[in-house]
Amino acid sequence: MSISRRTFLQSSGAVAAAGVISSPAFAADEIKVASIHDLSGGLDIYGKPMVDALTLAVEEANAAGGLLGRQIKLISYDPQSNMQLYTQFAQQAALKDKVAVVHGGITSASREVIRPVLDRFKTLYFYNTQYEGGVCDRDQFDTGVTPAQTVEKLVPYAMKKWGKKVYVIAADYNYGQITSQWVKKYVLQNGGEVSSIDFFPLDVTNFGSTISKIQAAKPDFVWSALVGGAHISFYRQWAAAGMHASIPMASTTFAVGNEHIVLSPDECNGMLICYNYFQDLKNPVNQAFVASFHKRFGADYPNITELAMGTYQGFRLWAEGVKKAGSIDRMKVIEALETGISIDAPSGKVTIDPPTHHCILDVHIAEVKNKKLNVLEDFPQQRPTDTAAVCNLIKNPNDNQQYVIKI
C-alpha cells in the first residue's frame, strides 16, 4: 500500500490530517463548492484522482468566467476514510461554509452518512462513484454507473469467453453485497452457475484460505468486487500462487484505483473490466481533456480513472444546471437538472435521467494489458434500469431512501 499511496499522492504534496484545503480566495460573492474525498486513509487511491478532476473542472470554469458572473471556490475536506469525519465535514460544508453543492463520498457507507446530513440541511449533493444502485433522493444526483449498466454487459461477455462456472469475491459492505447478487442474477440468466460468494472486510489482507477454496472449486473464472488498498493483496497472492495464469478474472472494481499500474503485468494482464470511461477513448472531447489534465497535473500522471471522470462530469452537469436555472438555489438547480440536461463529456454523451437522478451514458468493456486498459467493445447510452425499477422522483418527489432492488 505504501507504493500506491506514494504513486497517487505525489502530484498533490502533503495533505494536513483531516484537513480542509481551499483554493485561492476570490471576491466575497464567490460560489463555494465542496469536495469530500479521501486524500489519506485506505481509500486514497480512489480519492486523489477524484479531487484532481474536480480541481481541473473548477479551474476551467473560472478561466471561462465562472458561473453567473461569479468565481467558484473549491473547498476540499479530507475525511481519511473515516465515517465520523465524513459526517463532520458534511455538516461543516452545509452549515459553516454554506456551499452550493457537495461532491463527495466513495463507498456506499460514506454516501449514506453524508446523504442524511445534506438532506437535513437542504444542500445539493452529487455522488460521482459507481455503486450498487437504488438511491432515490431528490437532493442527490448520481453520475456513476450501476449494475444494469456494467455487470449486465460484462457477465455474458466473460461467460462467452471463459465458461459458465463463476466464483465471486466481494468487499463486505453494501456495494459488494448487492453487486454480488446482480452478478449471480446475470450468471443464472445466461445459463451459468455461481459456485460461491465470499465477502471480505475492507481491511483484510490475507487471502490464502480463499485462494485454496477457489482452487478446489475450479471455476471457469473469478468475479472480483474487491475494494481499496488492502484488497490489492488478493491479486498479488493470487498470482504468487500461480492462479493468475490458470483461472481468468473479471471485475467492476479493478482499475478504478489504478491497481493495474500498482501491480505488475504478470499479476493482472488479461483481466476484463467494464466502465463508463477509459483514458484512451478516441473522441475529440476526450483528447482535449487528457491534454488539459496532463498539462495541469503532469505528463507522467499514472492514469485518469473512471471515478475521476465521474467527478469531472458531476461538476459539469451541476454547472449546466446552474446556468439553466440562472441561480445556485438548490431547488431551482434541481428543477433545471430534471429537464434532462446533457453534456458532451470526455466519456461521450451524458444525460441526467429525470425520474432517477442517475445518468444515461456509454459503457465499455476493456482488457488489462501491460498497465493499459484496452477497449474491446462499446455499449452506447445505457440507462439506469435497475434504479428506474424502484425510483420515480417526478411522480414521488418526496421519496428519500436507498431501495434494495429485488433481484
Structural domains in the chain, CATH included, are 2-146+280-361+383-397 (3.40.50.2300), 151-251 (3.40.50.2300)
Contact 37, 88 (CB under 8 A): no
Q: Is 41 left (phi over 0), alpha (psi -120 to 50) or beta?
A: left
Contact 325, 67 (CB under 8 A): no
- Per-residue confidence (pLDDT) for residue 24, from 0 to 100: 45
Please state the φ and ψ torsions of residue 224, each to the nearest 5 degrees.
-110, 125
- Per-residue confidence (pLDDT) for residue 28, from 0 to 100: 59
Q: Which of 115, 14, 120, 32 is nearest to 73 (CA)?
A: 32
CA atoms of 391 and 354, how far apart (whole Å)? 10
Strands 221-225 and 372-382: unpaired
Cβ atoms within 10 Å, residue 253: 24
Rg, the chain, Cα only:
20
- Residues in the chain with pLDDT values less than 50: 1-18, 23-27
186: Cα separation from own chain's centroid: 22
Q: Which of 264, 243, 259, 315 is nearest to 51 (CA)?
A: 315
End-to-end CA distance of the chain: 35
Q: Which helix (H) or strand (E) holds 261?
A: helix 259-262
- Per-residue confidence (pLDDT) for residue 405, from 0 to 100: 81
Q: Which distant-in-sequence residues (6+ apart) come within 8 Å of 333 by Cβ?
A: 101, 124, 318, 321, 322, 325, 327
CA atoms of 131 and 92, how far apart (whole Å)? 25
Contact 223, 150 (CB under 8 A): no
HSE-CB for 370 with a 13 A CA cutoff: 0
Percentages helix, strand, coil for the chain (3-state, rounded to 5) are: 40, 25, 40
Listed in order, strand segments (DSSP E) in 10-144 are 20-22, 31-36, 72-77, 101-104, 124-127, 135-137, 140-142
Placement of cell 451541476 in the chain: 318
